[in-house]
Structures are given as C-alpha cells and as structure tokens.
Amino acid sequence: MPPGGRMRGDQTEAVAGHTQKGVEFLERIGTFAKERALIEEEYAAKLRTLAKKSLGRKKEDDEAAKNFTYVRSFANLLRELELLAGQHEVVGERIRKEVVPFVATRAGVHRAQRKQCLADLQAIHANLTGAMEHLFKAQKHYGKTFKEAEAAFLKYAKADKNMEISRLDLDKARNNAWASKNETGWSLESRISLRLVMETHFHCCHLVVDFEQFFQVYTDNPKMGNPADCDTQLGQYEKEIESIIQQIAKFRLLLEEAQQSNALLNKIQVYEECAMPALGTAVAQFPFEGGTEGTIAMQEGEEMLLIERDEGDGWTRVRRCVQLSSVFPMLD
C-alpha cells in the first residue's frame, strides 16, 4: 500500500490512453516501413536503369575503356552503381517481406488485447456495481433483522420476568427471539460474503490485467521505453496485491466464524431457564413415575416447591430444592 495506508484509485483512463498511443506508434512504424520499402525498390530500379543506359555496349566504348583510364573508371563506377542498386533492392524486399508483416501482426495483436482488456474491465465494473447493490441491500436487511432480534429478546426478557404469563407464551417468545437471532446471523453471513466478493473484484481483478503482455511490448520495442523503468511500479503492484490477499484472508476468516455461529444457532434446541421464584409448597397426593419428557417422578406425601399456577390444563410446574423444575399432573 502507498504511504498513509490508502489505496490509490485505478488509472484505467491513463493506461487505456497509453496503450492506444503504443498501438498507434506501432502502426506508424508499419506505415514507414511499407513506404520505405517502396522507395528502396523504386530507387534500385531507377539506379539500375540509369547504369545500364549510361554503360555503352559498343566496340568503340570497349576499346576506349582499354585505352583511356577515365573511360575505364566511369565504366567501373557504373558497374558499382548496379551493385548498389541490387543492395537497395534487397533492403526494400526484406523490409516488405519481413518488417512490414511483423509490425502489422504485432499491432493487430496488441489492439485486440487492448480491446479485450477494456471489455473485461467493463464487465468487472458491472459485477462490482451489482455486488455493491447487493451489499447495500444486505446491510439494510441486516439492520432491520438486528432491530427485530433485539426487540424479540427484550420481549422475551420481559416475559421471563412476568409471573402471570403462561409457559406456552413464554416458549413462544423464546422461539421468536431465537428465530430473529438466526435471521440476524444469516444476514451477517450474507453481508460478509458480499463484502468479500466486492473486495475481491474491486482490488484484485483490475490489478491482474495482463501485466506481462504490456511489459512484453516494451521488451520487444526498445524505442517505446526502457523496460527497467517498469520494475519499480511492478514491485509496488506486488506489494498491493499481497496486502489485498491478507485482507481477503481476514474476510474469509470472518465468514467462517459467521457460518460456524449460524450453524451453532441452528443446532440449539435446549436453553437454560432462570430459576423462577417459588409461589409456595405443594404435597403430592399420589405417587407419579414421570416417564414422559419434562415431567418429574415423586412419591406420595413428598413436598415440592410450587413455581407456577395451574392454568386449567391439569398440569403445573414444581421443583425440588436441588433439582430443575418440571411439570406434574393436578387433581381436579
């Protein structure tokens, strides 16, 4: 990360403009090579024509060349001019057959890669926008469910302290509180998941945009710049990527903790009740085995603490002094 701990914004427009100039520069080189090849071939043809035209083929010229040194020197100059025309012809042909196709191919490849990178960038921005919208919705839903869970637990705590409320209403309030808490946990997990997706798209995808391809452009074309100048910037990008990987690991750890908490909340079936104050004592009029869940066995004449009034269903809640409370059938 840069000094100050702040992530710098993407330089997408600068990179797009720089790569566009690079492609245009390659096309300029291709145009120059094509025109130079044409000029070299035309120049070679004109030199050869001029040399042949100026070099006489008559017997008088041959005899004059043998007798006079200036005639012989001029003939040698014309022959060297023919050789020079051949060299220009070779240069033009090699430029036309080797340089021009290579530059045109590289320019086409880089233009296609640039177009693909820009399309990928647009897709990444679209995914980022969608992820942020989902994140805001999840944040809003989380705030709503958190308030509902808080209200449900307050209602349950109030009902737990109310001695006039029935056990059915108390269980109902408890179930509503746990359901609200589970919903809040799911919202938190969804929010962290979307946060992780957003961080991944926002910080990682735009950094992995074919650095090697752009670096290869500088390596293959020294005129565009010194490749060593990019090492400092690439090293800084590597540090930013390492920091982003650490942030992703942090968010994944939070996501795993949220998933474990949610799984634990879904598995909770039993809760501990606070010891309710006794309303009085009751004496068992007959023995009771207590074979069903939530009941307690007792002997005839055994004294129990009465902690709940009979609501008319034939059962009431009692407990021993050292045991948990349970229900017991009442006599009409």
- Going from the C-alpha of 280 to that of each of 160, 162, 250, 316, 320, the distances in angstroms are 19, 17, 55, 12, 12
Q: Which residues have a Cβ under 8 Å from the Cβ of 284 and sit 6 or more positions away?
A: 298, 299, 300, 301, 302, 303, 304, 328
Structure tokens at 314: 């034939």
Burial class (CB in 10 A: 0-12, 13-18, 19+), 40: buried
Max avg pLDDT among 34-48, 60-74, 254-268, 307-321: 34-48
- Going from the C-alpha of 225 to that of each of 22, 30, 40, 68, 85, the distances in angstroms are 10, 18, 29, 57, 35
Q: 25-33: which pairs have CB atoms within 8 A and are 24 or more residues apart? A: 25/224, 26/103, 26/106, 26/107, 26/110, 26/221, 27/103, 27/107, 29/103, 30/100, 30/103, 30/104, 30/107, 33/95, 33/99, 33/100, 33/103
Rounded to an integer, the average pLDDT of 129-137 is: 89
Among 137, 222, 139, residue whose Cα is nearest residue 184: 139
Rounded to an integer, the average pLDDT of 271-300 is: 70
Read off the amino acid at residue 30: G
| Cα-to-chain-centroid distance, residue 223 | 35
Distance CA 142, CA 238 (A): 35
Distance CA 115, CA 23 (A): 11
Q: How confident is the model at residue 4 (pLDDT cuts 50, 70, 90)?
A: very low
Max avg pLDDT among 48-52, 60-64, 154-158, 291-295: 48-52
- Minimum mean pLDDT range among 44-53, 74-83, 124-133, 202-211: 202-211
Q: How confident is the model at residue 270 (pLDDT cuts 50, 70, 90)?
A: very low
**What's the confidence (pLDDT) of residue 37?**
95
Q: How confident is the model at residue 72 (pLDDT cuts 50, 70, 90)?
A: confident
Which of the pair, 230 or 144, is modelled with greater confidence?
144
- Going from the C-alpha of 248 to that of each of 202, 242, 253, the distances in angstroms are 11, 10, 9
If one counts every other C-beta atom within 10 angstroms of the C-beta of residue 154, the result is 11
Rounded to an integer, the average pLDDT of 271-281 is: 61
- List beta partners, residue 283: 303
Rounded to an integer, the average pLDDT of 170-187 is: 61
Helices first, then strands: H and E counts in the chain = 7, 4
Among 292, 291, 295, 289, residue whose Cα is nearest residue 315: 295
**What's the confidence (pLDDT) of residue 254?**
72
Q: Which residues have a Cβ under 8 Å from the Cβ of 250 and sit 6 or more positions away?
A: none
Q: List, as one string, the DSSP characters of 244-311.
A: HHHHHHHHHHHHHHHHHHHHHHHH----PPPPPPP-EEEE-SS-B---STTB--B-TT-EEEE-S---
% of the chain surpassing 90 pLDDT: 23
Among 133, 130, 136, 128, residue whose Cα is nearest residue 10: 128
**Domain boundaries for CATH 1.20.1270.60 within the chain:** 12-207
Rounded to an integer, the average pLDDT of 262-266 is: 57
| Cα-to-chain-centroid distance, residue 93 | 50
Q: Which residue has the tokens 């060297």?
A: 80
User: Does the CA dihedral 234-240-246-249 come out positive or negative?
Assistant: negative
Which of the pair, 12 or 209, is modelled with greater confidence?
12
Residue 68 DSSP one-character state: -
**What's the confidence (pLDDT) of residue 272?**
43
Q: How confident is the model at residue 181 (pLDDT cuts 50, 70, 90)?
A: low
**What's the confidence (pLDDT) of residue 244?**
78
Max avg pLDDT among 63-67, 121-125, 154-158, 328-332: 121-125
Please state the CATH superfamily assignment of the domain spanning residues 12-207 in this structure. Arfaptin homology (AH) domain/BAR domain (1.20.1270.60)
**What's the confidence (pLDDT) of residue 273?**
47
Asked if residue 5 has pLDDT above 50, the reply is no
